[in-house]
Amino acid sequence: MNSSDLMIECENLVKIYKTNETEVVALQGLDLTIERGEVMAIIGNSGSGKSTLLNMLGGLDRPSAGKLMVDGKDLLKFDDKALIKYKRKTVGFVWQNNARNLIPYLTAMENVELPMVFSGKSKRRKKAKELLEMVDLSHRRNNKLSQLSGGEQQRVAIALSLANNPLLLLADEPTGSVDTKTAERILDIFRNLNKEFGLTIVIVTHDRQVSRKVDRVVAIRDGRTSSEFIRKSSYKEELDKIEEGFLKEDDTHVELAVLDKTGRLQIPAEYLEALELKGKDKLRVALEGDRIVLFSHDDYSPKSKLG
C-alpha cells in the first residue's frame, strides 16, 4: 500500500507515564495503519491503551517513542504551534461526556458556530445550519442543551466536530451513554458523513454493536494490537442478507490475529485459558506442513493449530 493512501500510520508506538515513584507503560510497541476514508473501531478493555492512542492521534498527548504519522505529517516533530494548528485544522473530536463537547448555556446553533468564531470563518451561521441539518437537528437549532435529549446532544457534538472541515474524526465512546436505538442512529450518521465527505473516522468503544457498522475493528490488549475483525462483504450486501435471513448480525466479520513487524503474535486470552496455557511464558513452536503448531513448554502434544 502506498503511504499516500494512509491517513494514520503508527509503528512501534510507545507511551510511558512517569511519576516520582512509578512508571506505567500504556502502549508498548503498537503497530497500526488506517486508510484514508476508512470507518473503523478500536476496542479493548479498560487499561488496554485505546484511549491513550486516541489522545495521541488527536494531538492531546505525545508519544514517548516510535512513529506516528497522520495525513503524511510526523506528529513527533510538531512544536506546540504546529500541534495547535493540527488540532484546529486536521482533526475533530466527539467525546462520550457531552460536558466536554458542548457549552450548556449556548444553543445548539451557537455551540456549532463557536469553533468557526475562533478560526475567523465567515458565513458561520449558514455553515452551522447545514451541519445541524446533516445530523437531523435543524429544527432544534435554537434549543439550549437542557432542552435536548442525550442523543440529541451527541448529534450536536458531531455537528460541532465538523465545523472546521477536519480530515479525521475521532469519537470516544460516542454511543456509551445512549440507548440502542439512538446508538444505531448515531452510527448511521457516521457512515453517512464518511460516504458524503470521504471522512476518515476512528471510533474507540466498548460497544460490540459498533462492529456491525464499520468495516474493520482492531482489538488492543496490553498496549499492542492483538487482533482485527474484517468485514466479510460490503455493508449493504450484509444488510440485504440479514433482512433475507441468510446472515446473523453477529456473523458479519472474520477475526484475524495480528502479526507485527518483528514477528510477535498475540494469541486471544480465551484460547490460552481453554488450552490451560494462560500464565505460561514459553511455548514450543513447530511447523507442520502449512500450519504453525504451538505446544506447551512441558507437553509434546499439540495444544493448538494456527493455519
Give the CA angle between residues 71, 50, 183 to the nearest 5°: 90
- CB–CB of 10/203 below 8 Å? no
183: DSSP letter = H
Q: Which has the higher per-residue pLDDT, 20 or 164?
A: 164
Instruction: Return the pLDDT at 139.
Output: 93
Residue 246 reports pLDDT greater than 50? no
**What is the pLDDT averaged over residues 256-278?**
71
Q: Report which of 282, 257, 252 is spatially closest to residue 270, judged by C-alpha positions.
A: 257
Q: What integer pLDDT is reported at residue 250 of this predicted model?
A: 53
Distance of CA 267 to the CA centre of its chain: 21
Q: What is the DSSP string of 130-165?
A: HHHHHTT-GGGTT-BGGGS-HHHHHHHHHHHHTTT-
Q: Which residue has the cell 432544534?
A: 140
Domain made up of 36-60+79-271: CATH architecture: 3-Layer(aba) Sandwich (3.40)
- Give me the mean pLDDT over the 237-256 stretch: 52
Q: Report which of 151, 131, 134, 142 is spatially closest to residue 109, judged by C-alpha positions.
A: 142
- Which cell numbers hold the place of 37? 476514508
Distance between CA 184 and CA 95 in Å, rounded?
17
Q: Is 274 helix (H, G, I), strand (E, B) or coil?
A: helix
How does pLDDT run across 111-124, given as a tens digit for each residue? 999 888 876 666 88
pLDDT of res. 247: 40
Cα–Cα–Cα angle for 235, 55, 257, nearest 5°? Answer: 50
State the pLDDT confidence band at 20, using cuts at 50, 70 and 90.
confident
Residue 187 host element (H or E):
helix 180-197
Span(s) in the chain for CATH 3.40.50.300: 36-60+79-271
Nearby residues of 88 by Cβ (< 8 Å), 6 or more positions away:
115, 118, 119, 164
3-state class of 82 per DSSP? helix
Give the tens place of pLDDT for each residue, 269-300.
677 777 777 666 677 788 888 888 877 666 55
